[in-house]
Structures are given as structure tokens and as C-alpha cells.
Amino acid sequence: MAHIMDVLEERGFIKQVMHEEELRERLAQGPMTFYVGFDPTADSLHVGHFIPIMAMAHMQRAGHRPIALVGGGTCMIGDPSGKADMRKMLSVEQIDSNVAKIKKQLQRFIDFDNGAKLVNNADWLRNLNYIEFLREIGVHFNVNKMLAADCFKIRMERDTGLTFLEFNYMLMQGYDFYRLHQDYGCELQCGGDDQWSNMIAGADLIRKKDQEPAFAITFALLANSQGQKMGKTVAGALWLDEEKTSPYDFYQYWRNVEDDMVEKCLALLTFLPMDEVRRLGALEGAKINEAKKILAFEVTKIVHGEEKALAAQKSAEALFGAGTEGEAPVYELAADEAKNMRIVDVLAAAGLAKSKSEARKLVEQGAVLIDGEKVTSIDFVPDRQEYLLRRGKKQYKKIIVK
């Protein structure tokens, strides 16, 4: 079996590694316990979380033991990493509700019946004695070193600065790693590259306090060829919860990625063998669309299951292949609401335009069609109970008036 580090490197996961040669040797010796943290700032994970989730799955398949740590405690502070402003403060009730939903989602990707654990850091963070915590943990953190960390740079350079509340986040995350090391023998933290400073702080804490090895690996953030984060849609983030992003919309997102992103996405977001990934990524011209269909199906299958992936695939083929409405995503309007609703209002409400002004431009450009007929007036009021509303060539909504 290939070394797991070689597997992750070949597929494009690894960005930075702490004590790489020592870590390689340790991983080769036998099963290793590692963890990835997920702060419950929303009631669903999004596609940005999917990279570390896939890496966890690869590592578990290689025989290593994952811990999914849900941040019911750290979320009460909010991670300042890469943020220009302080995160919105959530109530304990909101956080606990989000934790419950995220735990349920994680169970779709990680096999918790095969050595993996799901842990909430609220168990040790919410009832900390602050004085004891500072004496035990704070003494190992150098403020000068903390201020130089990448996770604080953006905030330190802005007028808003950094609150003392957020300054504690690095200590809290470092303490998480220390507790997981104490309680479960965890030796490795994995996560997004924006977490590098926090992660090496935790590994250093273990090495100082316990005089034992600890490691960190960061994974590349999902970005397009221009370096921009992927996973944004007209409606916002690309969520892993089908109530927030339907399997059809999820499928269509991957079906429409840029040509030069296909190989990267296949490597990171599917379990296809790398020989097949490279073959598909090398396709050119119209043939690359076949690779995109495989990408869309494979990613949707992992996130939503094979049945819903097949349904999304069938709907897309019906919609774009035969020109019929198939099972396009549905947007419902109340009859009294729709009675005097102009097409620009419908476009904005259904999420096919970001605003009414954008909707007006789309109509004026001839980019809006109802059941295949071009809409020519921004004041047009649809009088049908059901119709297919199309923006451009690839964005559709089935509008149903009830």
C-alpha cells in the first residue's frame, strides 16, 4: 500500500507539513490518531469543509484513526483567521443546534463504527477555570510570536484591530489538540491552510508540556485557476445540506466548473484512481464535458448518495439534452404574491439574479426566457401556473404558483 502522505500529495491535498520527515516515519510505523476541527458557525457544512473531509476519508482508508472535533466551545469566541472583522456572536442555543446538525452530516463521510470518534470541545472549554488555564496553558504562548502569526495579520493591519476575545482563540485551539492528545493519544492535526498558525501552536504546546511528538498538516483551500475561492453560487455558499443547496444545484455547480479545474477537482473531491483522473483531465474540446459529468456525478454521490446523484444527472440530461424541464429546481410562489409580480421580481426572488437591477439588465440583454420564449419587457407579468424560467444557457428554475 502506498504511503498516505504520497497519496495525499499526488491528489493535491498537502500545502504545509510540520516536521515532515519525522511524520512520514511515524505514519509508516502503524495507525495514527489525527483530528480535524469544524466550528459550527452555521447549521451546515459547506464545500470549503469538503477538502479536509475527503482527506480524513483517505487517511481512514489507509488505517489511521480520525477524530472529528466539533467546536461547540471555540465557536463561542470565533476564529479571526483570515477575517477582516469580528465574527457574529452566536447564542449557546444556536451553537448547540448547529453542532447537532453538523454531527449528523459528518456521519455521512466518516465511518464512526470503525475507530473514528466525534468529539465536542464544549466538553472542556465551556467550564474552564480561566486562572488555572492561563497558568497551565498561557505560560507556553509567546505574545510576540502570536502577533506575528498569519491568522492575526489582516486584523492587526486594519483600524478595527483585534479584540482580546479573539486573541484567545489560538490558545483555545492549541488546548484542543493538547486535550485530544491527553484523552485519545492524538498526534496529528489536519485542516485548511488558513489554520497553519493555530495548528503549529497546538503541536508546539504538546511538545513543550508532554515532551512528545506532535504534528500538523494543512490542506490547500479549494480555489480556481485565478486563486479565487470556489464554492460560491448565485444563492450564496455551496452547502452540503440538501435543504440549503439541492442535489440538482450541487450537481450543476460541478458540471459547470472551468475546463482547467476538472482534473484538480477530480483528484481532490472524488475517490477515482489517479490514472483515471489524469485521463479525464487531459480531454480537450467538447470531450471535457464528459469529464465534467463524471465529476458532478461522483461528488454528488459522495455528498448526497447514489440515488440522488442519479436523479440529478437524469434531470440535467433531460433539461439540457432534450430541452425539456425534467426535474429542474423548483421555486414556489403564492398565488396572491404572483398576481402582479413582474419578471424582474421573479428572477430576483428565485435567485436567478442577485438584484432587480441585475434582472432588468438580463431582460434587456435578451438573456431571460420563459418556456423557451424570450422575455422582451422588464414589466412582463407571467400569468402561468407553472413555467420554466431560464437565465442564459445553463441556469433554470421551475416556477410553480400555488
Q: Which of 26, 58, 87, 361 is catalytic?
A: 87
Q: Which residues contact 286 (CB under 8 A, 6 or more apart)?
A: none
Q: Catalytic: 195?
A: no
- Where do runs of H (alpha helix) occur along 43-168? 50-61, 92-106, 122-125, 130-136, 143-147, 150-156, 164-167
Q: What is the DSSP string of 168-217?
A: THHHHHHHHHHHHHHHH---EEEEEGGGHHHHHHHHHHHHHHT----EEE
CA 170 to CA 156: how far, in whole Å? Answer: 15
The answer to whether 378 and 363 are in contact (CB under 8 A) is yes
Find where cell 458540471 sits. 255
State the catalytic residue, choosing from 83, 101, 117, 356. Answer: 83
State yes or no: is 232 an active-site residue: yes
Annotation marks residue 194 as catalytic: yes
Give residue for cell 502569526: 149
Active site residue 300: no
**Residue 218: alpha-carbon gap to chain centroid:** 15
Catalytic residue selected from 11, 49, 65, 264:
49
Beta bridge partners of 38: 70
Catalytic residue among 15, 16, 26, 41: 41
CA distance 288 to 265: 13
- Identify the active-site residue in 117, 233, 259, 314: 233
> Whole-angstrom Cα distance, residue 94 to residue 72?
10
Answer yes or no: 233 catalytic.
Answer: yes
CB proximity list for 127: less than 8 A, separation 6 or greater: none
Catalytic residue, chosen from 108, 126, 208, 229, is 229
Is residue 308 among the annotated active site residues?
no
Neighbours of 114 (CB within 10 A): 10
278 flagged as catalytic: no
| Active-site residue identified among 43, 150, 194, 259 | 194
- Which runs of E-coded beta strand occur in 28-71? 33-38, 65-70
Task: Tell me, yes or no, if 46 is annotated catalytic.
Answer: yes
Point out the catalytic residue in the list 24, 46, 279, 356: 46
CB atoms near residue 33 (< 10 Å): 18
For this structure, is 376 an active site residue? Answer: no
Q: In whole angstroms, what is the distance from residue 306 CA to residue 308 CA?
A: 6
41 a catalytic residue: yes
Q: Which of 15, 232, 244, 293 is catalytic?
A: 232
Known catalytic residues are: 41, 46, 49, 83, 87, 173, 194, 229, 232-233
